[in-house]
Amino acid sequence: MAVTVSGMVARGRTFFADSPVVVTVQVTRWGQKSPFTILRLEVIRNDKVVGSFKCDTGGQTTMEFDISTALRAIWSDYDVSTEVYYVNIGQDMYSRAARAYKIKAYSEYMDTDGELVTATSGEIEAGKCVMGGWTEWERSVIRWDTEGDVEYVNGSNLRNGDASTKPVSSPERVGSESITSWTDVSTSGTQSYFWPATSSGSPDSASPHAPIVIRDSIPYVDFLFVNRRGALETCSSPTKAAMAISAETKQYARVGRPSFNPNRSVMAVKRGGRRSWEMSSGHQPREWVEWWASEFLAAERVWMRYNGAYVPVVVEPAKKNVGIYNQAKQQMSSVEFTVTLALEG
């Protein structure tokens, strides 16, 4: 074969689409006297090319391609709001299949007769991908290992390879809703599951590292958000410290016809009705405060349960820097934030 493919390509492996997925293409037979050698790589999903990469080797026989942009394109038609709808109507469990893809590599060079020669690897079952990604810290721990996919388990973090990022060392205190999510990699790594956890803990078939769920009698506000690994996550704020409704009025001078009499006509445009709340995570152990700050406050898409339905909201931290712990003070910390309804009225 004139072209070989290696790197993060393995049948049945499941990689995060938002993390670098590096494929190595090597030319095993090429024209050394050719003025050029072109390498091309295609990412194929359902017989359609979703990503195409091309480069001149400059005399080299091996090149690397990061195909994560093509893997993100595979998920471009996916709407996370559908998952929120499923959770809202109380469905006990649902799954989202990881999406499989193929790759195909080409080499092009000119032979001694001036004819263009093209060699191909043929279509290769490259693996599967899911939404989400590793953080830079996690990628540093993995050290760019070719096995660094969703199945990778690091001894210091039992949830590596799990869709959920919640801590495991202490119970999770929640209100009325708690969704535990993980990626099932025990067999083929093709499904992501979301379960409402019971009051005594997660279901038997859930991740063995899921936190125990404890429901308190005090009022809670429930949130859904998309974590960094592309899965739904839940958290509950035990306090609703304050609520406010925006109100704004702007005055504009109304243009009138020229007149000898003074014209002071104005027009008022009123806007507002967007509600906001000052909230807190409540006092939490160190690992949970860190999770609230690094996951919940960093989430780009958040929904809050309000009047019986999940509605989109914007979450802003009360401070730029969130204190996680202070060894000089033997006390638990909390995360303070502001929640603003993304809808007016």
Asked if residue 238 and residue 121 are part of one domain, the reply reads no
Asked if residue 88 is part of any domain, the answer here is: no
Same-domain check for residues 238 and 276: yes
**CATH number of the domain where residue 113 is located:** 2.60.40.10
Which is higher by pLDDT, 243 or 204?
Answer: 243
pTM of the full structure = 0.77
Strands 302-306 and 221-226: antiparallel
Q: Are residues 113 and 213 in the same domain?
A: no
Domain shared by 58 and 158, yes or no: no
Domain boundaries, position 206: 153-243+272-341
Distance from C-alpha of 203 to C-alpha of 196, rounded to nearest angstrom: 9
Taking the C-alpha atoms of residue 126 and residue 123, their distance in angstroms, rounded to an integer, is 9
Whole-angstrom distance, CA of residue 266 vs CA of residue 237: 45
- Tens of pLDDT, residues 13-34: 788 888 888 888 888 766 667 7
- Does residue 303 or residue 95 have the better pLDDT? 303
Helix (H, G, I), strand (E, B) or coil at 154: strand
Q: What is the C-alpha separation between 248 and 344, in angstroms, rounded?
A: 12
Domain CATH number, residue 221: 2.30.110
Instruction: Judge whether 53 and 168 are in contact, CB under 8 Å.
Output: no
Is 87 a member of any domain? Answer: no
Residue 296 has pLDDT above 80, yes or no: yes
Question: What is the Cα 292 distance to its own chain's centre?
Answer: 16
Tokens of 243: 């609520």
Domain contains 141: no
State whether 180 and 320 are in the same domain.
yes
Query: Are 117 and 109 in contact, with CB atoms under 8 Å apart?
Result: yes
Tell me the pLDDT tens digit for each residue of 220-231.
899 999 888 888
Instruction: Over range 194-218, report the average pLDDT.
Output: 59
Closest CA to 237 of 101, 338, 319: 338
Residue 52 and residue 178 in one domain:
no
pLDDT at 175: 86
Is the domain of 173 the same as that of 43?
no
Domain match, 163 and 311 both: yes
Residue 323 within a domain: yes
Whether 113 and 236 share a structural domain: no
Number of structural domains found in the chain: 2
In a shared domain, residues 233 and 327:
yes
**Which residues on neighbouring strands pair with residue 232, listed in sequence order?**
226
Residues 163 and 280 in one domain: yes
3-state class (DSSP) for residue 68: helix
Q: Does residue 56 lie in a domain region? A: yes
165 and 120 in one domain?
no
List residues bridging with 174 in a β-sheet: 215
- For β-strands 172-174 and 213-215, DSSP reports them as parallel
